[in-house]
Chains A and B, each alone.
Chain A
Amino acid sequence: MPHSYPALSAEQKKELCDIALRIVAPGKGILAADESVGSMAKRLSQIGVENTEENRRQYRQVLFSADDRVKKCIGGVIFFHETLYQKDDNGVPFVRTIQDKGIVVGIKVDKGVVPLAGTNGETTTQGLDGLSERCAQYKKDGADFAKWRCVLKISERTPSALAILENANVLARYASICQQNGIVPIVEPEILPDGDHDLKRCQYVTEKVLAAVYKALSDHHVYLEGTLLKPNMVTPGHACPIKYSPEEIAMATVTALRRTVPPAVPGVTFLSGGQSEEEASLNLNAINRCPLPRPWALTFSYGRALQASALNAWRGQRDNAEAATEEFIKRAEVNGLAAQGKYEGSGEDGGAAAQSLYIANHAY
């Protein structure tokens, strides 16, 4: 083995580490507001609103005009490229509004999925070309972290060894390039919930995927203390007939993470996938009450699970803006509590009842 060639200086490491810790400070999580133009089309069509740049701007304004109550529960916001350069009605750039609240600005940098030939519909993610230059520019424009989403799916013969290897590798290249430019990479290896597989199968696959991701990050000399992980929670497939409690999901999720994610990683910010707002909060809460030792922060990086009610309340009408913002603040606060295991639920069995559902000797 040749002598090591340090990828980062001590100052660079410190900067990255500090940014990561700020984002996942106790009680804080991430608002994923980085829906691409195509994804926004789906969201807006559901509330009968036309997908124009102005409507997208107005909608993000609803979220970003939330008052100081979000300071204690939102540590970072992920932007889409277009949004990074948009302004509010008073001409104030969104980036500045967010930074002024002490919230870290992030940017989606991947360019979507592309097929892996010879596989059963599997994909990798593109976006590495010119990524270093793009990161340098984003850093100048106010972004301190980035996000890159890889996608894997569970079926009879997937995820294949190739899909796991290729996606882990591309995530590691992206992470390495980000760090060279002072940007904390959020590493997102999402295993889709589509399918009828049970909880155990998802746990097994998640462990294999995460082991590959962390081996790749090590191979690419990525500084783990200056990264965040954005994984799926371990859940059964959508079409699985067996129902599981939040405690079972929590136990499977934390077990999988304990077996694969080194303690050096400062925080794990779960994606919400197809979960409802309440489900995503209850599961996060159960995860933070799980009796297994958890050396990283366990918090949220939610898109739909933070915005569904707000979107519904807004429906494209300026008059509804304030009420919509309130809906968002409400979910943000709930998830801030869930990230500390302090959410008592929306009125049904309180925390105490839920805790007793942990099966102490369940071997995962």
Chain B
Amino acid sequence: MAHRFPALTPDQKKELSEIAQRIVANGKGILAADESVGTMGNRLQRIKVENTEENRRQFREILFTVDNSINKSIGGVILFHETLYQKDSQGKLFRNILKEKGIVVGIKLDQGGAPLAGTNKETTIQGLDGLSERCAQYKKEGVDFGKWRAVLRIDDQCPSSLAIQENANALARYASICQQNGLVPIVEPEVLPDGSHDLEHCQYVTEKVLAAVYKALNDHHVYLEGTLLKPNMVTAGHACTKKYTPQQVAMATVTALHRTVPAAVPGICFLSGGMSEEDATLNLNAINLCPLPKPWKLSFSYGRALQASALDAWHGKAANKKATQDAFMKRAVANCQAAQGQYVHTGSSGAAATQSLFTASYTY
């Protein structure tokens, strides 16, 4: 082994670890508002709003100009490239509005999937070309973290060793480049919920994927204390006939993380995938109540699960601004409580009822 060549100076490490900790401090989580133009098209179509740049700008404006108290629940917002340069109706840049609220600004950095030939429709992610220069520019513009989503799926012969290896490697390259430019990389190896597999199989796959991710991060000399993880929760496939409780999801999820994610990682911010707003909150709450040791913050990085009601309330009409902001604030506060294991589901019998559903000696 050659002598080591430090990838980062102590000052660079300090900056990265402080940014990461700020994002997940005190139960705060992330608003994933980085839907690409295409994905926003899907969202807007459901509420019969035309997918124009102005409409996208209007919706994001409503979210970002919500009352300042949002900064107690939201530590970071991930933006799409276009949104980084948009302004509110007074001409103020969105990114400055967020920063003034004390929220850390992040940017989606990947450039979508590319097929892996010779596999069962598996993919890797593009975006490494010129990434360093892009990161440097974003950093100048006030961005402090990046996000890159790799996708794996469970199916016949999937995820294959190649898909796991290749996506882990791309994530590690992206993370290394981010850190060189003062950006905290959010590492997102999403195992899709599509399929009819059960909870145990998802746990097994998630453990293999995360083990590969952390080996790759180590190989690429990534400073773990200056990263965040954005994984799927461990759940059964959408088409699985067996139903599981939030406590079972929580135990499987925390067990998988416990076996693969080093304690040096400051925070784990789950993606919501296809979960409803309420399920995403209930599951996060159960995760934070899980009796296993949890040395990292366990929080959220939700897109749909923070915005679905808000989108519904908005319906493209400026007059609905307050209702939209209220809907968003409500989910943000609920998830902040869940990230501290303090969410009380209105209508249920409270935290005590949920807590007792943990099967203490369940071995996974």
Contact = CB atoms under 8 A, between A and B. Distances in A.
Interface string B1-38: 11110000010011000000000000000000000000
B259 interface: yes
Given A14-B363, A157-B1, A262 B201 contact: no
Interface stretch (A207-215, A273-281, A306-314): A207-215
Interface in A1-51: 1-4, 10, 13-14, 17
Given A211-B215, A218-B211, A262 B2 contact: no
A214 to B, nearest CB: 7
A332 interface: no
A97 interface: no
B75 interface: no
Contact of B201 (A4, A200, A212, A218): A4
A6 to B, nearest CB: 9
B205 interface: yes
A218 B207 contact: yes
Given A3-B201, A158-B1, A262-B258, 15 more contacts: A1-B160, A13-B363, A159-B1, A164-B1, A207-B218, A208-B1, A211-B214, A211-B215, A258-B263, A259-B264, A261-B262, A262-B262, A263-B263, A363-B13, A363-B14
B4 A201 contact: yes
Interface of A: 1-4, 10, 13-14, 17, 157-161, 164, 200-201, 204-205, 207-208, 211-212, 214-215, 218-219, 224-225, 255, 258-264, 293-295, 361-363
Listed from nearest, the 3 A-B pairs whose CB atoms lie closest are A363-B10, A218-B211, A211-B218
Nearest to A255: B264
B231 interface: no
B288 to A, nearest CB: 15
Contacts of B212: 215
B165 to A, nearest CB: 12
B218 A204 contact: no
Nearest to B261: A262
Nearest to A295: B295
A259 B219 CA distance: 12
A44 to B, nearest CB: 37
B361 A14 contact: yes
B260 interface: yes
Contacts of A205: 1
Contacts of B295: 263, 293, 295
Interface in B260-287: 260-264
B81 interface: no
A157 B2 contact: yes
Nearest to A261: B262
B159 interface: yes
A10 B158 contact: no
Given A157-B2, A158-B1, A260 B262 contact: yes
Nearest to B210: A218
Nearest to A205: B1
A218 B260 contact: yes
Given A13-B363, A158-B1, A214 B211 contact: yes
B215 A215 contact: yes
B85 interface: no
Given A201-B3, A218-B207, A262 B157 contact: no
B208 interface: yes
A259 B217 CA distance: 10
A1 B158 contact: yes
A2 B361 CA distance: 28
Interface in B177-228: 200-201, 204-205, 207-208, 211-212, 214-215, 218-219, 224-225
B293 interface: yes
Nearest to A218: B211
A262 B260 contact: yes
B236 to A, nearest CB: 14
Interface string B87-111: 0000000000000000000000000
Contacts of B258: 262-264
Contacts of A293: 263, 295
B362 to A, nearest CB: 8
A295 B219 CA distance: 23
Interface string B293-314: 1110000000000000000000
A211 B363 CA distance: 25
Contact of A259 (B158, B201, B224): B224
Contacts of A218: 207-208, 211, 259-260
Contacts of B214: 211, 215
A119 to B, nearest CB: 12
A157 B68 CA distance: 56
Contacts of A204: 4
Contacts of B218: 207-208, 211, 259-260
Given A1-B158, A4-B200, A263-B295, A258 B262 contact: yes
A161 B207 contact: no
A262 B259 CA distance: 5
23 contacts: A1-B154, A1-B158, A1-B208, A157-B2, A164-B1, A201-B3, A204-B4, A207-B218, A208-B218, A214-B211, A218-B211, A218-B259, A219-B211, A224-B259, A259-B262, A259-B264, A260-B218, A261-B262, A262-B259, A263-B262, A263-B263, A264-B259, A363-B13
B15 to A, nearest CB: 11
Nearest to B17: A363
A90 to B, nearest CB: 41
Nearest to A210: B218
A168 to B, nearest CB: 11
Nearest to A14: B363
Nearest to B296: A263
A294 B158 CA distance: 35
Contacts of A14: 361, 363
A288 to B, nearest CB: 15
Contacts of A160: 1
Contact of A295 (B200, B255, B293): B293
Contacts of A159: 1
A358 to B, nearest CB: 16
Contacts of B158: 1
